[in-house]
A and B are shown apart, each in its own frame.
Chain A
Amino acid sequence: MSVWFSDAASAWSAVVLTVQLASVTTVLLLCVATPLAWWLSQTRSRWRAPILAFVTLPLVLPPTVLGFYLLVAMGPQGWLGQWTQAMGWGLLSFTFSGLVLGSMVFSLPFAVQPLQHAFDAMGPRPMEVAATLGARPLDAFFSVALPLARPGMVTAAILTFAHTVGEFGVVLMIGGNVPGQTRVVSTQIYGHVEAMEYAQAHALAAGMLAFSFVVLLALAAVKRRWPGVGA
């Protein structure tokens, strides 16, 4: 009885942590990805191609590689670690904040691409119309570009959330497996399998399967409602 109870409690804590991580990552990443996607869709700078490639890197890199470099950067000798220590925040490795940062980098292309497609699909005309009607550039961005890119934004949010829930390699590298701190569902499943606890692993894995299926259904609904926009 008590064994079952502690299993359920630790599973629940992993689920809560996963949802927290995915939510915080999604909100913060959209704030970063939206201006970045806008810049990529508007600029004619020669920096566009290298920056686009850099943003897309997490799509092709093994998560362990990404996690490794993030871990090194966040460590006491890393540039990021030095900076966070200097700011008095301590080290980010093996903390929730570190996980959020890692997840943001990991999901960056999943947020930037749908947004950029939405901005590209809009074309220059709506912003020109806004300018001739007296809207200053920032005003036009919020009153025209963002509302028109809403389907791209919804797609970006769904993809980021789902992708963060499903990440494993990056979490393992920079988060370790601290219960209640950095132990999310995917690492929890890994732990169960290593300990030969197939029943517990199965319960969580089935939950992930169902969740992923629902996410894909939601994406299909977005595409049906706003055809031709988003990823």
Chain B
Amino acid sequence: MGHNHIRLCLPRANHVLALDVSLPDHGITVILGASGSGKTSLLRCVAGLERAQDAYMEMGGVVWQDDALGIFVPTWQRAVGYVFQEASLLPHLDVKQNLAYGLKRAGHRATTHSLGQAVDLLGIGPLLGRSTARLSGGERQRVALARALASQPRLLLLDEPMASLDAARRQDILPWLEKMRDELHLPMLYVTHAVDEAARLGAHMLVLENGQVKTQGSVADVFANIEQPQWVGEDMGAWLQGTVVERQADWHLCRVAFEGGQMWLRDTGVALGQMVRMRVLARDVSIATELPLHTSIQNQLSAVIEAVAPDAHPSQVLVRLRVGPWAVLARITQKAWSDLALHLGQTVCVQVKSVAVVA
């Protein structure tokens, strides 16, 4: 089995972009950062559209660039799929011809079968006969995704594929991206500045700041990092992943089980057996030293206090608690921490008031 590794260095106007990352065989690695942090340049270097210095890139056992040996494979010879920020369909070709363009040039890697799969995966069968001018923004990006997939790339690069879409259209595209993530055996680099997209799609995450990797790790770990918080304020929260295992129609609730516990959530119609990601905001989590008996809060988890860090306001602290392999954040007052005599390593009961299911 091949090995996927990207290391590169690119001097830019006021900083040097540097990156060193190994990618798994499938799943999304999110590259998160503000505009100007070098996210797009990074993708362009990986695709060979810009030339990074001192770079080493290997995808599926094929070396794309190795400056130590003077190897630079041009873009057209890299088995790469690239989805640009704005609609990038070739305007002189219709939808079917756009899909065929890459297929024809991908050589033996791609077959009409791979085109059919891409069309089915992204549900664009009904659009095939249309001209590109007669597609909505969301449809265009779905065609662009299918076009990139049809040529069977070893790596898919996504440069803020939803940036040009409004909020409603984003909600239309997200499920397709999740489907790609779950069904394809393909590593993807997903550039975005949207925290919610990162949390929803990513497995691994890199946070870029002025060209430097500020933090990297699993999405859950990066979000639960309170020592060097990436986000402050109301958005601070953790992510858990679980499976819907039971439904109580009378109460409009469903039970999601995950390693380390379970929670009852509002039933949003997610099918039994489906994987969901849950967002638990720090402000919705409280801590009790004993199991509270008379409380309106339905979800109580046993957790171990792992870390504590000052919050933005001096009256409050952020506490990271371990529930199985997951981290949960709680925002409590400094006074509560002191009154309850909480300490690291202590097993406590965590009460979760509200959970948002994102997929």
Contact = CB atoms under 8 A, between A and B. Distances in A.
Given A134-B102, A135-B76, A137-B76, A129 B90 contact: yes
B91 interface: yes
Contacts of A147: 92
Contacts, number: 58
A197 interface: no
Contacts of A148: 90-92
Contacts of B92: 144, 147-148, 150
Interface in A123-140: 125-126, 128-137, 139-140
Nearest to B83: A132
B84 A143 contact: no
B134 interface: no
A138 to B, nearest CB: 10
Interface string A101-134: 0000000000000000000000001101111111
B91 A135 contact: no
Contact of A143 (B47, B88, B91, B101): B101
Interface size class for chain B?
20 to 34
A50 to B, nearest CB: 28
B151 A133 contact: yes
Nearest to B150: A133
A134 B77 CA distance: 6
B21 interface: no
B299 interface: no
Size class of the A contact interface (CB-based, 8 Å)? 10 to 19
Contact of B88 (A129, A136, A140, A150): A129
Nearest to B47: A132
B284 to A, nearest CB: 43
A33 to B, nearest CB: 21
Contacts of B77: 134
Given A128-B49, A143-B101, A134 B88 contact: no
Contacts of A133: 76, 101-102, 105-106, 147, 151
A19 to B, nearest CB: 31
Interface of B: 47-49, 74-77, 80-82, 84, 88, 90-92, 101-102, 105-107, 147-148, 151
16 contacts: A125-B88, A128-B84, A129-B82, A130-B101, A131-B48, A131-B75, A132-B75, A132-B80, A132-B81, A132-B148, A133-B76, A133-B151, A140-B76, A144-B92, A148-B91, A150-B92
